Amino acid sequence: MSAVATPELELVVTPPAVEEIKKFMQSEEDLPETSGLRVRVVPGGCSGFQYSLNIEEESRQGDFVIDRDGIRLFVDMFSAQYLNGITIDHVTNMMGSGFTFENPNATGGCGCGSSFSA
């Protein structure tokens, strides 16, 4: 009997992003131990796809579950094909603060930084 190879998924989360995710998760009340941050790609935005971050109480069947630096990330199989190798950062500048995504899979993007094409 041969084992089915699970595709690899590598996400980089910078220390500032980890700290911001932890703060965000701690601000939510009554989250179970199974909770985590869902990182997804959804159709939309100016370039075809956009990133989505949501707190969820537990992973779903078929999700990649990544435990890193005290945070748990959930990625569905559809999003994984676009998120492999991505770097998630959190920046603060004169325009405000927010999460940024450096995606080596993107073939194009736009000025908003949260939309891309692949």
| 100 domain-assigned | yes
| 61 domain-assigned | yes
| 118 domain-assigned | no
pLDDT band at 5 (very low <50, low <70, confident <90, very high): very low
State the residue range of the domain holding 93. Answer: 12-113
| 70 domain-assigned | yes
- pLDDT score of 19 more than 90: yes
Render pLDDT for 74-97 as a digit per residue (tens, 0 to 9).
999 999 988 999 999 999 888 788
DSSP the chain: -PPPPPPP---EE-HHHHHHHHHHHHHSSS--TT-EEEEEEEEETTTEEEEEEEEESS--TT-EEEEETTEEEEE-HHHHHHHTT-EEEEEEETTEEEEEEE-TT-SEE-TTSSEEE-
| 105 domain-assigned | yes
CATH of the domain at 47: 2.60.300.12
| 87 domain-assigned | yes
CB contact set of 108 (below 8 Å; sequence gap of 6+): 47, 116, 117
| 4 domain-assigned | no
Residue 65 vs residue 104, higher pLDDT: 65
Q: How many domains, in total, are found in the chain?
A: 1
| 6 domain-assigned | no
